[in-house]
Amino acid sequence: MTTTASATPAIQVSDLHKYFGDNEVLKGIDFRVDQGQVVCVIGPSGSGKSTLLRCVNRLEEPTSGRILVEGIDITDPETDLDAVRSRIGMVFQQFNLFPHMDVLANLCVAQRRVKKRSRDEAVQVARANLAKVGLSEKEKAYPAHLSGGQQQRVAIARALSMDPDMMLFDEPTSALDPELVGDVLSIMKDLAAEGMTMMVVTHEMGFAREVGDRLAFMDGGVIVEEGDPRQVLADPQHDRTKAFLSKVL
């Protein structure tokens, strides 16, 4: 976690609109994540949080607006999206591990295909990242034999094995039993302490308060309020933020 802003933001979103059919899900979003920052996004179900995050690595195509990732315009059709995506690690609510591969293979496959690493090199990187998430002894296990918390830790290790410049987390603990949430959050906290740039869609207000550099509250496809997480959570300025927080805190 750092408060130092770099000249080129990691992520810069300007006037972003996204429609699904007639449904305008993002209504002119301006949003920024500086290098080394942890920015948390909270808000009610259906407010557009996941869609915003998914637009940032172009899992969704914006309808209009501009998104720069490390200064590169990913809304420009000329941009090599794969090259930009390879700098972004993504962690989903449902882990998205390959069920027919063991843990080590899960961590190696994209390294081999995208990074063109040799098998030995990929295994070495995978093992270092498995150690980081405390799962070295599980390299031969299949996802179905791991707890949800362990699967999510493997998913984080897999993303880290691609040496990303930044990590996007889409409700990474929402599918976990409560007793497993802390393990995943503590790994995310360690990553933040190492200076990883992170955008985190979450319902974990404690994490946002403790680890976040900024907090954005979304409702109805707009960012209603944004600021220091401790300040927003303790003293929200907008009625919609107050109403939401009164239900979840």
Ligand X SMILES: Nc1ncnc2c1ncn2[C@@H]1O[C@H](COP(=O)(O)OP(=O)(O)OP(=O)(O)O)[C@@H](O)[C@H]1O
Q: Which residue ranges make up the site for ligand X (CB under 6 A)? A: 20, 25, 43, 45-51
73 φ/ψ angles, rounded to the nearest 5 degrees: -80, 105
Pick from 126, 104, 103, 128: which is nearest to 115 by CA? 126
Provide the 3-class DSSP secondary structure of residue 170: strand
Q: Where are the alpha helices (DSSP H) in the chain?
A: 49-56, 81-85, 103-113, 119-132, 148-160, 178-193, 205-211, 229-234, 239-248
Residue 33 beta carbon to ligand X: minimum distance, rounded to whole angstroms: 17
36 vs 43, beta carbon nearer ligand X:
43
Q: How far apart are CB 103 and ligand X at their closest, in Å?
A: 27
Least distance to ligand X, CB of residue 176, Å: 15
Of residues 109 and 222, the one with the C-beta less far from ligand X: 222
In the bound complex, what is the minimum distance in angstroms from residue 198's beta carbon to ligand X?
Answer: 17
Least distance (Å) from ligand X to the CB of residue 16? 12
Counting Cα atoms < 13 Å in the Cβ hemisphere of 131 gives 6
Q: Which is nearer to ligand X, 9 or 48 (CB)?
A: 48
Cα 63 to Cα 61: distance, rounded to the nearest angstrom: 6
Residue (49 or 132) nearer to ligand X, CB: 49
User: What is the smallest separation between the CB atom of 8 and ligand X, expressed in angstroms?
Assistant: 27
Q: How far is CA 47 from CA 12, 150, 182, 240, in A?
A: 20, 29, 26, 12
- CA 219 to chain CA centroid, Å, is 19
Please give the Cα distance from 67 to 130 (Å, whole number).
32
Nearer to ligand X, 4 or 64 (CB): 64
Sequence-ordered list of residues with C-beta below 8 angstroms from that of 116, at least 6 positions apart, any chain: none
Tokens of 147: 């707890």
Question: Judged by CB, which is closer to ligand X: 25, or 125?
Answer: 25
